[in-house]
Structure 1
Amino acid sequence: MRVLHVITGLGSGGAEQQLAAVVRRLPARGVDCDVITLTNPGPVADRLREDGVRVGHLGMAGNRDLSALPRLTRAVRHGRYDVVHTHLYRAGVYGRIAARAAGVRAVVATEHSLGAAQIEGRPLTVPTRGLYLATERLGRATVAVSAAVARRLRDWGVPAERLHVVPNGIEAERYRYCPSARRGVRARLGVAPEAFVVGGLGRLVGGKRFDVLVRGVAALPGAVLVLIGDGPERARLLRLAAALGVADRVRLLGDRCADEVPALLAACDVLVSPSREETFGLAVLEGLAAGLPVVHAACPALEERPAADAPGATRFDGEVSELVTALRAFARAGPVRLPQPRAVRHYDIGRAAERLTEIYRSTATSVAGPAGGTR
């Protein structure tokens, strides 16, 4: 079976990393994958190519660059794909239209980023919602990464028979704690072995609320903040750190490839996710997989599991004062590494790949014509 994945960009965001992790496992299930990115062939594109995946780049100039549509349609038609699988809002709109124009009716879309007020970082306006629903009808299956996202899609009017919940997955073994990685990373970052290090992981965008982390660390003398990720909020966070007098205790590491993240987490003592709205909460699971205590404001992945499945996770209200109280307690207790909890094992990436394979096969079968084709 040949599947084309179409995604908005291939920077180091959660959806992009998830795509790379799943695609790595699909060939063993008889699924041959290509990937096309509309914009930004960033570090995840490099990772995919290293894995032997063909990656194309449309060079889309903006949301309304309609010239990308015929190019994408030609690529779909040329590849003779059985299934087209789109990821994220813009790719969902363009990818569904292009797939149908190329004669591919087996179209699957994963919704990674539908929040209560935003989708893929853009406000949920009436036109945005209308365009989403109009193009959603061109597909055969819509995948939600959590039950919370599925509920929002149902509330929008997406038919239940087209909805599937396939939670994000994690490559748990890659995150197991390595003491030598901790020492090496701290030395490279200029962080003392005994320093209390607070970690953050994700795109530097307003909704992630990493300014709360900067303020929290500023209230803890000697604490160091390590932020893994990049985005439009980078300059503002640096200005805030300077204004609070903690620029020397804040490390903004930028985009890092997935293979670097476990070692960077090994250098931390606690991971904090201050975002009040998440569609899944993959960063929280990555912290737990690394054996870290985790403080989070929202995480559907854990909210949909029994509390006993993640004993190392602590929920806070998102305010700086409560975060500071929690961090002080962890700093006093000293470094600790926890065993990987049941929640991490539950969200194994292999399960996600297996479930997607089932959806591909059932979707392709449902649209097959008398000769067995999908066109």
Structure 2
Amino acid sequence: MMPSTHKPLIAHVLFRLSTGGLENGLVNLINTLPDDKYRHAVICMTDYSDFRNRINSDAVQVYCLNKKPGQDFAVYVRLWRLLRHINPDILHTRNLSALEAQLPGLLAGVKCRIHGEHGRDMDDVDGTNWRYVMLRRLFRPLVQRYMPMSKDLEDWLIKQIKVPITKISQVYNGVDINRFNENDAKPLSLLPIEFRDPKLLLIGTV
């Protein structure tokens, strides 16, 4: 039994820590989860940019596996060794480019393994590429919990990847209403002067 003071270590695995929506969500998650309850490590299959500096805590270790382009089977040996070394309680992979990390996670003895689906690749926008589908189905037994970021992705996991609904926890991407609100003067100051009237209804797209 773990001592009551034990803080679970979450190992977040992604392709590269750089500018992007998935990466921004990861950084926000790390920065907002209470430090007295969780620890974090970020494992990049390739490397990271200065986006890494957006992580507030110096206690968060960021590791690079320096995966080579194409097939690089040695990277999974390096990942297995790293997981054995840091001994995380939770492994959280994100998107197809990190899904294969589930196997080293299993072999390293990680007890809780999660996979997040944040969106589809540009060369597979409808999620029907048979190679990608078969790869996801192949790794399906290794994943204990799926976390799709939309209802559409949840339905796709169920229908196309054949994931049991009992293994899915669908979570919507959200907006921090304390940071982005109608009374925040800073965003208004960035707009052209003709759009700064607080009485105007502004509609933006992402």
Q: Greater shift after overlay, 74-83 or 56-65?
A: 56-65
Measure the CA separation in 2 of the matches of 1:171 and 1:65: 38
What residue identity is the alignment partner of 1:24?
N
Corresponding position of 1:174:
179
Secondary structure of the structure 2 residue equivalent to 1:27: coil
TM-superposition CA deviations, 1:290-338 (whole Å, max 9, x none):
x731368xxxxxxxxxxxxxxxxxxxxxxxxxxxxxxxxxxxxxxxxxx
Query: Does the aligned pair in 2 maintain the 1:18–1:169 contact within 8 Å?
Result: no
Corresponding position of 1:134:
138
- 168 and 179 in structure 1: CA distance in 2 versus 1, 3 angstrom threshold: closer
Corresponding position of 2:4:
none
- 148 and 180 in structure 1: CA distance in 2 versus 1, 3 angstrom threshold: closer
Secondary structure of the structure 2 residue equivalent to 1:34: strand
- 2:166 aligned to which of 133, 140, 161: 161
Aligned residues: 190
Measure the CA separation in 2 of the matches of 1:45 and 1:180: 24
More helix by share: 1
Measure the CA separation in 2 of the matches of 1:103 and 1:18: 27
Counterparts of 1:207-246 in structure 2, within 5 Å, are: none
Corresponding position of 2:116:
110
- 163 and 31 in structure 1: CA distance in 2 versus 1, 3 angstrom threshold: same
Measure the CA separation in 2 of the matches of 1:64 and 1:13: 24
TM-superposition CA deviations, 1:118-154 (whole Å, max 9, x none):
x333324211110111112211111111211100100
What is the root-mean-square deviation of aligned Cα atoms in Å?
A: 2.4
Corresponding position of 2:129:
125
Measure the CA separation in 2 of the matches of 1:21 and 1:37: 17
Q: Greater shift after overlay, 61-70 or 129-138?
A: 61-70
Measure the CA separation in 1 of the matches of 2:170 and 2:70: 27
Q: Which runs of 5+ in 1 are unaligned?
A: 114-118, 187-191, 197-265, 271-290, 297-375
Query: Does the aligned pair in 2 maintain the 1:26–1:32 contact within 8 Å?
Result: no
Q: Answer yes or no: is 1:10 the counterpart of 2:17.
A: yes
- 178 and 167 in structure 1: CA distance in 2 versus 1, 3 angstrom threshold: closer
Query: Does the aligned pair in 1 maintain the 2:47–2:65 contact within 8 Å?
Result: no
Corresponding position of 1:224:
none
Corresponding position of 1:51:
57
Query: Does the aligned pair in 2 maintain the 1:82–1:104 contact within 8 Å?
Result: yes
Measure the CA separation in 2 of the matches of 1:69 and 1:171: 36
Question: Which has the larger Rg?
Answer: 1
User: TM-score w.r.t. structure 2 length?
Assistant: 0.81
Measure the CA separation in 1 of the matches of 2:112 and 2:102: 10
- 2:104 aligned to which of 87, 98, 104: 98
Q: Which runs of 5+ in 2 are unaligned?
A: 1-7
- 10 and 295 in structure 1: CA distance in 2 versus 1, 3 angstrom threshold: closer
Measure the CA separation in 2 of the matches of 1:29 and 1:160: 32
Q: Answer yes or no: is 1:84 the counterpart of 2:85.
A: no
Secondary structure of the structure 2 residue equivalent to 1:45: helix
Counterparts of 1:300-339 in structure 2, within 5 Å, are: none
What residue identity is the alignment partner of 2:66?
G
What residue identity is the alignment partner of 2:27?
A
Measure the CA separation in 2 of the matches of 1:29 and 1:147: 32
Query: Does the aligned pair in 1 maintain the 2:89–2:112 contact within 8 Å?
Result: yes
Corresponding position of 2:155:
151
- 171 and 42 in structure 1: CA distance in 2 versus 1, 3 angstrom threshold: farther
CA shift for structure 1 position 28? 4.5
Q: Answer yes or no: is 1:20 the counterpart of 2:27.
A: yes
Measure the CA separation in 2 of the matches of 1:63 and 1:137: 25
User: TM-score w.r.t. structure 1 length?
Assistant: 0.46
Measure the CA separation in 2 of the matches of 1:104 and 1:63: 26
User: Which segments of structure 1 move beyond 6 Å, counting only runs of 4 or more?
Assistant: none
- 154 and 77 in structure 1: CA distance in 2 versus 1, 3 angstrom threshold: same
Corresponding position of 2:3:
none
Identity %: 23
